[in-house]
Structure 1
Amino acid sequence: MLSEDTKTIVKSTVPVLEEHGVDITTVFYRRMFEAHPELLNIFNHANQAQGRQQTALAKAVYAAAVHIDNLEEILPAVVQIAHKHVSLGIKPEHYPIVGEYLLKAMKEVLGDAATDEIIEAWGEAYGVIADAFISVEKDMYEQAASQENGWNYFKDFVVARKVKESDVITSFYLRPADGSNVPPYTAGQYISVRLSMPDNEYLVIRQYSLSQASKPDEFRISVKRESDNDPNGVVSNYLHKHVNEGDTIEVSPPAGIFVLDVEKTTPIAFISGGVGITPMMSMFETVATSTPERPTVFLHGARNRLQHAFDDDIKAYSEKMENAKYKTVYSDEENGFITREMLEQYVDTSGDAYVCGPTVFMEIMIRELRNIGMPEERIHYEFFGPAMDLNTN
């Protein structure tokens, strides 16, 4: 427990963190990587280069300061981030390293304003937050390893099949190299893929949604090929161009909290844009095969027909369901967007909606769902990208 004096001191730094947070986290990452380059095997280099992770971490530190007298407020974020950590293989011994260089960065950027009293208070606060992460992640690791066919960290998988789904999306069917089966997972979860790439000194890790309902013998990920000039596309391009059937890659156990509530039978709507269709396929297939009577809507936005993946699959599942509606729009065509009017026409606001896609798309869909009267607690989403946390990609 933190003392009231410590909470008061940490809370007093909120204005400073609001103004100088990104400067602090930028120095933090630079100094930490200089001293511990091995951590570059964990971090997403593209997010670092673009400043996305620095900004995300600055927001996380700011949020911790704001809620320091009631850290339970940020517990949902802790759980979400812990899932990412477990998927990436974060270990307890990483936390002291992060704490050391975060405090050093505060001192370097703030100078005399970062008094010994402030640094000591933040050190104590960081220790409490780190202990919370370590405890939550310990339970997750134990659960992942103890379940049938489970494991911790990374395991070799073989690409059993490679299937082109559209002009930009390709699916990879992955099976354990040791011939075992895979653990069951909840529709909507993701795995991490770890690769050693030519001309790259460090390992690279990316997280991809599992794009089919849980199967006993395989995982499927469906990867969008980004532009060659997009720094975020280094790994996706490598997978598309160089990873083929029979190749081996490393895979982490399933993780994530953006998942389908399989207990419900009330109306449900899946609303996706672009490659955001991938977790929706896992969810939709699960509903179609386990509760086909459930009233279901699938709305999807793509750039054009050539970039639209899984169209035939969704139609096939829909035909076997008792009450399913499927609508696609293409932004290259006139009026090719999911509108409020379309949501009003298709979405039953007494049920649940799951939203996934590019950030702007999600922001618009979430806002419009609220506008048509869907309660906040029944709108489910997760913004993918750098975790707003103290450690990782």
Structure 2
Amino acid sequence: MLDSKTIETIKSTVPVLEDKGVEITKRFYKLLFENHPELLNIFNHANQKQGRQQTALANAVYQAAKHIDHLENILPAVKQIAHKHRSLGIKPEQYPIVGENLLLAIQQVVGLQADDPIIQAWAEAYGVIADVFINVEKEMYQAAEEQPGGWKGFRNFVVAKKVKESDVITSFYLQAEDRKPIAAYEPGQYISVKVAIPGAEYTQIRQYSLSDSPNKDYYRMSVKKEVGTEVKPDGIISNYLHDFLNEGDLLPLSAPAGDFTLDTNKDIPVVLIAGGVGLTPMISMLNHLSEQYPHRPVTFIQAAKNSQIHAMREHVVKLTQEKNNVRSFFIYDSPTEEDRKRQLYDKEGHIDLDWLHSVIEDKESDFYFCGPVPFMETVNKALQTWGVKEDNIHFEFFGPAISI
């Protein structure tokens, strides 16, 4: 436990972290990779280049300082991060490495000496926070390994089938190479895949949501091919999977993880709102609800550019026609002439509160949504304006969590 003086010192740094948090974390990652380049095998290089990882860490450090006297307040965030750490294979012995470089980054950015009381207080606080993560992750590692069909670390899977879902999204059906049972998962969870690209110095790990209902003899992930722009680089791994990973190839996976999961203990209606490739966890939830909970009303809303980009449209339409509890609506922001001619969508443009009112009668529903950050900001604001209960609003980030 931290004494009152240490807590007071940590809390005094909150304004500094609010102002210089991202600068500190940028310096931290630079130091970390210079001193320990082997850790480049773990981190998503694209998130580093875009600054998302640095922002997410800055937010986490800020919240830890703000709640240092009541760390239980940030336990949900700790568990969310711990799921990612377990999926990536983060080890207890890596925490001191992180702590050393984080303290050094604080020193350099704020202009402090190693023996400054602030650095000493943060060293003590980091040890306490690291222990919380290590203990939570220890339980997760044990559960992942000991569950039926579970395993430790990464396990080889074979690409049993590769299916093009749209111009930009391809599904991969993955079966265990050893043909032994595989772990179940909750709709909304993800897997980590480890990829060694020929000629690349480091392996890379990416996390992809599972896009089918659980309790099958395969995992399905549906990957969007990320084509770069002026401000965003090509998705190295997504392009490799699309262009070079073929049926019969092997792909190492960690066991399913994640805390963005469907609550099946409720009986209230469910609204699933997907933007782009954010449909992957939504499809998993939709399939599970349609198969196992036919009494529970489900509204599925998919926003896409047009039908060429819209993945799994036919599957959703088929469920809507066959299942009495499923309704679906499609929104295109750039429909083609063929889309207009065939009336393949229900709304042109973007989701807004007025339109949500027109298709959803009961705000006492469970709302789940996933997609690009601006899309999620819009949906979240609409639901809050409508007065949807906070406990009924659930969302998932692809990549490091940031604020919406």
Scaled by the length of structure 1, what TM-score is found? 0.95
C-alpha displacement of 1:336: 2.5
Partner of 1:328: 330
Name the SS of the counterpart of 2:211 in structure 1: coil
CA distance in 2, matches of 1:148, 1:110: 49
Partner of 2:378: 364
306-315 or 328-337, which deviates more: 328-337
Alignment pair present for 1:164 and 2:177: no
Alignment pair present for 1:379 and 2:393: yes
Instruction: Output the amino acid matched with 1:289.
Output: E
CA distance in 1, matches of 2:228, 2:393: 34
Sequence identity, in percent?
54
Instruction: Output the amino acid matched with 2:211.
Output: S
Partner of 1:227: 227
Cα contact 1:274–1:357 (8 A) shared by 2:
yes
Cα contact 1:188–1:209 (8 A) shared by 2:
yes
CA distance in 2, matches of 1:254, 1:264: 23
CA distance in 1, matches of 2:226, 2:82: 27
Q: Deviations over 1:259-297 (max 9, x none)?
A: 111222221111111001010000000000001121111
Q: Deviations over 1:191-224 (max 9, x none)?
A: 0011001231001111100000013311000000
Cα contact 2:290–2:326 (8 A) shared by 1:
no
Q: Deviations over 1:231-257 (max 9, x none)?
A: 251110110000000000110100001
Alignment pair present for 1:292 and 2:294: yes
C-alpha displacement of 1:43: 0.7
152-161 or 228-237, which deviates more: 228-237
352-361 or 113-122, which deviates more: 113-122
CA distance in 2, matches of 1:28, 1:323: 50
Partner of 1:74: 74
Cα contact 1:228–1:237 (8 A) shared by 2:
no
Task: Write the mapping of 1:86-235 to structure 2, written as runs, cut at 5 A.
Answer: 86-112=86-112, 116-229=116-229, 230-231=232-233, 233-235=235-237
Cα RMSD of the aligned pairs, angstroms, is 1.5
Partner of 1:270: 272
Alignment pair present for 1:341 and 2:344: no
Partner of 2:343: none
Instruction: Output the amino acid matched with 2:99.
Output: G
Name the SS of the counterpart of 1:182 in structure 2: coil
CA distance in 2, matches of 1:367, 1:27: 33
Cα contact 1:189–1:256 (8 A) shared by 2:
yes
Scaled by the length of structure 2, what TM-score is found? 0.93
CA distance in 2, matches of 1:228, 1:269: 32
Partner of 2:338: none
Alignment pair present for 1:4 and 2:4: yes
Instruction: Output the amino acid matched with 2:138.
Output: K
Alignment pair present for 1:350 and 2:364: yes
Instruction: Output the amino acid matched with 1:373.
Output: G
Partner of 2:340: none
User: Structure 1: any 5+ residue segments left out of the alignment?
Assistant: 389-393
C-alpha displacement of 1:339: 2.1
Instruction: Output the amino acid matched with 1:375.
Output: K
Q: Deviations over 1:23-80 (max 9, x none)?
A: 2212211112112111110011111122221222122111111111111111110000
Name the SS of the counterpart of 1:385 in structure 2: coil
CA distance in 2, matches of 1:374, 1:325: 20
Match of 1:310 among 312, 320, 324: 312
Cα contact 1:181–1:218 (8 A) shared by 2:
no
Match of 1:250 among 249, 252, 275: 252
Cα contact 2:188–2:209 (8 A) shared by 1:
yes
CA distance in 1, matches of 2:284, 2:169: 16
Partner of 1:54: 54
Instruction: Output the amino acid matched with 2:105.
Output: A
User: How many residues get paired?
Assistant: 388
User: Structure 2: any 5+ residue segments left out of the alignment?
Assistant: 336-346
Name the SS of the counterpart of 1:136 in structure 2: helix
Partner of 2:43: 43
C-alpha displacement of 1:115: 5.3
Instruction: Output the amino acid matched with 1:145.
Output: E
